[in-house]
Chain A
């Protein structure tokens, strides 16, 4: 696998391998004072964030650094993008500067795939950087889906056959799309709960059940994934008021009581406490929010390992070495 552009691209085996390795990375670092593995020594990873982010960007940076890679962060505001440099030129500049991996978050859907196409080297494909999609527009955010899957598996023991309810603004949510794709690949049953205005056209063709009644779905759910209300993406009137949204689709204490005891609550953050999730629910033992964050680092380590370590089919990459059979 050269790039990670979409959860929809991951087959069951690859996704399971990444999630298993994430657990292995967690074990490998347990109890260590020195959180350093030599695996990516000498590799250069450059993050290109054209949108705000705390947890994703820090998570990728920590993941790379714990594997001894050199991680450099480029954010749109402090870079030449503010002077009008195009995404393509920025990417080619970074490739020329020696990036082995580009981690990109961008407001345009499809940006990551475009980047992979622009930076590909036709005559030396293995020498072009690996591109990891850290969120492109409303399209996909694959590493988030992977860490959510890992969290679910840790709490429930398995993903196959579990009923996962995703609540909120599905229309504008790339994490919802990635989660639907990955959970379906891993054999879970997915239910979407949202007001009709926040569901995309064509959702009837997704491998999901759609509901508008959160209260009805809660008792049967094994996991509830709360989506963030994305005010920054909303120009139209998607619901009459925040209060009405919160009353009908917020995970209140009363609603939490309707959940089965074993059920887990995940949030695809950052949280708007009081809006889509009550304070007490977010901090309760059923909430796996902080576990999601720590899993995020291990999952991203596993993704970097998957993409940057080892060769395809046991042949040396074209860096001056002869082809060697495995």
Chain B
């Protein structure tokens, strides 16, 4: 999918493995602070990761939050494939697993978790999916990388890193649990990842 003129341009590293861990820890602290989930009258916070890597990030965040605050937060996965707005115009996709924690999402403070925020359409699909699952008290968004180019009025509440990119760039997030190694790289002219 890259332009032939730029076939030889190398990836550049945006975040190292250590950066990723630190950033996830920072986001965990931010979530604890903003949601006040360790206060006595705390809301029921539920982290829902958008497959594939959003799920890994959500479970890491949950572990960090438990370590830092002593409070366990429920954690799950929300597959958005069936709610995508480009289903009919792209090749058929495999579905991913959905796992909503027991207790559901009614009156919960749902934090959607994804690796990269780009056009905002995935998040919009996630909001549509949540609509059919219940009525949360509030929905927030946590992403590892915000790369700009929003096509919908959607913004992240917690962003690990803001990176200006061009549309032709490919932002590659790699996590140990999913890919065997960790880090975020940008492939210039690599084309959009999805």
Interface of chain B, main secondary structure? loop
Collect the chain A residues with CB atoms within 8 Å of residue B89's CB.
Answer: 311, 316, 321, 324
Is A24 interfacial (CB-CB < 8 Å)? yes
How far does the Cβ of B87 sit from chain A's closest Cβ, in whole Å? 5
Collect the chain B residues with CB atoms within 8 Å of residue A326's CB.
Answer: 90-91
How far does the Cβ of A256 sit from chain B's closest Cβ, in whole Å? 35
CA distance A31 to B104 in the complex (A): 8
Contact of A20 among B82, B92, B94, B98 (CB under 8 A): B94
> Residues 60-77 of chain A: 1 if any B CB is under 8 Å from the residue's CB, otherwise 0?
000000010000000000
Q: Which of A20, A305, A306, A309 has the most CB of B within 10 A?
A: A309
A30 near B91 with CB under 8 A, answer no
Residue of A nearest to B90 (CB): A326
Interface of chain A, main secondary structure? loop
B100 near A30 with CB under 8 A, answer yes
Residue of B nearest to A68 (CB): B82
How far does the Cβ of B146 sit from chain A's closest Cβ, in whole Å? 24
A25 near B95 with CB under 8 A, answer yes
A27 near B98 with CB under 8 A, answer yes
Is A32 interfacial (CB-CB < 8 Å)? yes
Collect the chain A residues with CB atoms within 8 Å of residue B83's CB.
Answer: 37-39
B93 near A310 with CB under 8 A, answer yes
A310 near B97 with CB under 8 A, answer no
Collect the chain B residues with CB atoms within 8 Å of residue A234's CB.
Answer: none
A21 near B90 with CB under 8 A, answer no
CA distance A321 to B95 in the complex (A): 26
Is B39 interfacial (CB-CB < 8 Å)? no
B90 near A24 with CB under 8 A, answer no
The verdict on A38 contacting B94 (CB below 8 Å), with A27-B99, A310-B87, A311-B88 known, is no
Collect the chain A residues with CB atoms within 8 Å of residue B88's CB.
Answer: 309-311, 317
CA distance A314 to B88 in the complex (A): 9
CA distance A317 to B89 in the complex (A): 8
Collect the chain B residues with CB atoms within 8 Å of residue A311's CB.
Answer: 88-91
How far does the Cβ of A105 sit from chain B's closest Cβ, in whole Å? 25
Is B138 interfacial (CB-CB < 8 Å)? no
Is B128 interfacial (CB-CB < 8 Å)? yes
How far does the Cβ of B86 sit from chain A's closest Cβ, in whole Å? 9
Residue of A nearest to B125 (CB): A38
B95 near A310 with CB under 8 A, answer no
CA distance A30 to B99 in the complex (A): 9
- Interface positions, chain A 101-139, Cβ under 8 Å from B, are none
Is A17 interfacial (CB-CB < 8 Å)? yes
- Interface positions, chain B 45-86, Cβ under 8 Å from A, are 79, 82-83
Is A28 interfacial (CB-CB < 8 Å)? yes
> Residues 20-63 of chain A: 1 if any B CB is under 8 Å from the residue's CB, otherwise 0?
11001101101110101111000000000000000000000000
Known: A28-B82, A305-B92, A311-B90. 5 other contacts (CB 8 A): A24-B97, A25-B95, A310-B90, A310-B92, A326-B91
